[in-house]
């Protein structure tokens, strides 16, 4: 099926959302038993970790770890926000840089100033958006605001309502600093995330059983296998280990001189989607199909373009002495195998 579809459904009783693009599963969000990313706690400082520049905190959902902080005494209350999921045996990662994020607006309590996405280049529209922001938050707001690129084409009233909702929530949460460890604001579930992040026009499917009807379940099954078919008969294996994610690219039956480059370019285009669907992050090592060194730049450009369209922060670390290519990807979701 051509076009974009956002399918809101449930898997084994848990909220889930799928984004289909031209019949292909582009993204999947599945709720888990862990605290949701974006949850804000009033946490209690526990003990510092000397040598690591961090601090353990007590929260209602267990122990959390806050990096790069100094001068915090045990027992002190802090407002922190969940940034990812806890790996086995590790504490929940949190930050003190709390954000309140919605479809059109991000309120930044600790970073004053009004900013508009650089993707919005129409000066008249930028002026209109600044006017809306000032009307809602005042001429000199005590908190910062970022207006997202999704504001382009949106109704002024919807943007104003979104800003007001986030600003009110931010003010209420940031003022609630005293007391025992407590959840002050819960992060968005899959349906809320879908509304917030998948902003391009799409058909919305909400009837029960939508995942089965529209082929999501079949493609989720494919995403649980290591082998991935690529364009032109090539394929790659995406295999997580405890230390890293190994990606092995092969040309298949193509024996032409350009087969290696073609396979590697096909892998570069599809790799962000495959990592996203599988919920994989951390260190990623690509064992590419053989290609001349002069083609490395072409491969890098293709991979960089594919990663630019992806929402997960990924660093292209570069080439190893053995000719492999390495990435470092933020772990911002749980592995698919842990959710199904």
Contact (CB, 8 A) for 45 and 76: yes
Whether 83 and 172 share a structural domain: no
Closest residue by Cα to residue 59 from 86, 40, 73: 40
Q: How many domains does the chain have?
A: 4
- DSSP output for 157-172: HHHHHHHHHHHHHHHH
Whether 279 and 315 share a structural domain: yes
Contact (CB, 8 A) for 64 and 92: yes
Whether 313 and 235 share a structural domain: yes
Whether 333 and 234 share a structural domain: yes
Residues of the chain with pLDDT under 50: none
Where helices occur in the chain by DSSP H, the ranges are 123-137, 156-174, 190-197, 210-213, 216-222, 259-278, 296-308
**Residue 82 located in a structural domain:** yes
Give pLDDT, residue 51.
Answer: 65
- Range of the structural domain that residue 47 is part of: 39-98
Whether 116 and 45 share a structural domain: no
Closest residue by Cα to residue 264 from 318, 194, 324, 221: 324
Give pLDDT, residue 53.
Answer: 73
Whether 252 and 322 share a structural domain: yes
Give pLDDT, residue 70.
Answer: 79
Whether 171 and 238 share a structural domain: no
Contact (CB, 8 A) for 330 and 84: yes
């Amino acid at each position: 099926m051509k076009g974009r579809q956002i399918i809101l459904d449930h898997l084994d009783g848990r909220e889930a959302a799928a984004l289909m693009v031209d019949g292909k599963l582009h993204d999947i969000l599945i709720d888990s038993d862990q605290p949701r990313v974006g949850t804000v706690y009033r946490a209690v400082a526990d003990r510092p970790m000397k040598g690591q520049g961090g601090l353990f905190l007590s929260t209602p959902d267990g122990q959390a770890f806050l990096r790069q902080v100094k001068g915090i005494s045990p027992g002190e209350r802090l407002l922190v926000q969940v940034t990812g999921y806890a790996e086995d045996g590790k504490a929940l990662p949190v930050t003190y840089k709390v954000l309140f994020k919605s479809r059109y607006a991000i309120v930044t309590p600790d970073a004053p100033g009004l900013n508009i996405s650089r993707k919005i280049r129409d000066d008249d529209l930028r002026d209109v958006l600044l006017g809306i922001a000032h009307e809602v938050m005042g001429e000199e707001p005590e908190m910062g605001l970022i207006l997202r690129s999704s504001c382009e084409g949106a109704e002024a009233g919807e943007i104003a309502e979104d800003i007001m909702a986030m600003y009110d929530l931010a003010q209420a949460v940031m003022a609630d600093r005293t007391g025992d460890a407590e959840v002050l604001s819960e992060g968005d579930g899959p349906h809320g995330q879908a509304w917030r992040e998948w902003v391009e026009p799409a058909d919305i499917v909400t009837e029960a059983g939508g995942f089965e009807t529209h082929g999501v379940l079949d493609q989720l099954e494919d995403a649980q296998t290591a082998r991935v078919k690529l364009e032109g008969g090539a394929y790659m294996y995406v295999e997580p280990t405890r230390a890293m994610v190994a990606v092995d690219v092969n040309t298949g039956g193509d024996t032409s001189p350009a087969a290696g480059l073609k396979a590697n370019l096909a892998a570069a285009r599809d790799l962000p989607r495959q990592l996203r669907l599988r919920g994989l992050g951390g260190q990623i090592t690509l064992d590419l199909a053989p290609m001349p060194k002069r083609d490395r730049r072409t491969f890098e450009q293709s991979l960089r373009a594919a990663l630019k369209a992806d929402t997960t922060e990924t660093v292209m670390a570069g080439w190893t002495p053995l000719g492999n290519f390495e990435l470092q990807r933020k772990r911002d979701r749980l592995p698919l195998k842990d959710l199904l």
